[in-house]
Structure 1
Amino acid sequence: MNVQYPIAGLRGARAISLVSSGREVGGRPRGDAQVPVCRMRDFQMAAVVPARADAVAGARRQLAGLLQNSGLSECADTVMLAAQELMVNAMVHGCGNRPDGRFSMRATHGRGCVRVEVEDPSTEQPHPRPATSDEVGGRGLHLVDALVTRWGTDHSAPGSTGKTVWFELDLLGGEGTS
Structure 2
Amino acid sequence: MSEVVKEFKNSVEKSISFYKEELKGVRTGRASVAMFENIKVDYYGTPTPLTGVASLSAPEPRLVTISPWDASQIPAIEKAIQNSQMGFNPSNDGKIIRVPFPQLTEERRKELVKIVKKMGEDAKVAIRNERRDANDKIKKQEKDKEISEDDAKKLQDDVQKGTDNAVKKIDEITALKEKEVMEI
Higher helix fraction (1 or 2) = 2
Same fold (TM over 0.5): no
Higher-Rg member (1/2): 2
